[in-house]
Amino acid sequence: MTTFIVILGPPGVGKGTQAEILSERTGLAHISSGDLFRENLKNQTDLGKLAQTYMSKGELVPDDVTIGMIRERLGRLDCANGAILDGFPRTPAQADALEIMLAEFKGRVDVAPFIIGNDDVLVDRLSTRWTCRANGHIFNHKFNPPKENGKCDYDGSELYQRDDDKPETVKRRIQVYLDQTAQLLSYYRDNGKLVEIDGMQTIDQVTQAMVIALKK
Ligand code: AMP
């Protein structure tokens, strides 16, 4: 049976950072829907251009487009043993579609760690976040600085500030999360997959809590 982990939590709480660390430790693929959209935008695909009209406003890309993109990604070879999903699902329709897709791939969601954060801290974290141009590695000049200013520790590429990490868009993203994504918590709580994790601890402490959640 393949293992799928769905990381839940508001924007800026550390889903991407933890997904990267866990992916390295477990060998499971890290699938970030936001990274996939940004990659499409970089390559100027139709999907990327369409997604950008929503992303720039902090709104969700429509479900059918997002589900189609994830379906294609899950079908790739590196997901044969499972994957860590970061940023998907974000709506109940996406969660339902994920169940159907995983049934096709003979997989299932094993655990859904929910990283909890405080809104003010999230706005502060996002506005000080720097993302690597080549592979989306995440740094924060206050909490998780790169070794060399402006340069990714992993691949040496340029670090940039995402457009949607500006305070106005961040506030909208948090609101969209509360309106649309928070409904997923009861979905995964009801099916016994949800494990709550305090995201206001250090990166290492959050990882330790995630590892314990994964063993359950
Ligand atoms: P993220 O990198 O996860 O913060 O996502 C950045 C942006 O990509 C979001 O604000 C949305 O516009 C879009 N996005 C990412 N994942 C999804 C998703 N599962 N459903 C809809 N839109 C998404």
In tens, the pLDDT along 8-37 reads: 999 999 999 999 999 999 999 999 999 999
Nearest CA-CA partner of 136 in 40, 60, 216: 40
Q: Which atom of ligand 1 is nearest to the CA of 58?
A: 10
Query: Rounded to two decimals, what is the model's pTM?
Result: 0.93
Q: Which residues are the active-site residues?
A: 15, 90, 129, 162, 173
Compute, in angstroms, the gap from residue 127 CA to the centroid of ligand 1: 17
Q: What is the CATH number of domain 3-118+180-215?
A: 3.40.50.300
Q: Tell whether the model's pLDDT for residue 52 goes beyond 90.
A: yes
Q: Is 192 left (phi over 0), alpha (psi -120 to 50) or beta?
A: left
| Separation of CA 24 from chain center | 15
- Does residue 173 line the site of ligand 1, with CB under 6 A? yes
- Does residue 88 line the site of ligand 1, with CB under 6 A? yes
How sure is the predictor about 201, in pLDDT bands with cuts at 50, 70 and 90? Answer: very high
| Residues 28 and 136 sit within 8 Å (Cβ to Cβ) | no
The confidence score (pLDDT) of residue 1 equals 61
To test the pocket of ligand 1, the residue of 20, 33, 59, 71 to mutate (highest count of ligand atoms within 8 Å of its CB) is: 33
Span 163-197, pLDDT tens digits: 999 888 999 999 999 999 989 999 999 999 999 99
Q: Per-residue pLDDT averaged across 137-159, rounded?
A: 94
SS3 of the chain: the string is: CEEEEEEECCCCCCHHHHHHHHHHHHCCEEEEHHHHHHHHHHCCCHHHHHHHHHHCCCCCCCHHHHHHHHHHHHCCHHHCCEEEEECCCCCHHHHHHHHHHHHHCCEEEEEEEEEECCHHHHHHHHHCEEEECCCCCEEECCCECCCCCCECCCCCCEEECCHHHCHHHHHHHHHHHHHHHCHHHHHHHHCCCEEEEECCCCHHHHHHHHHHHHHC
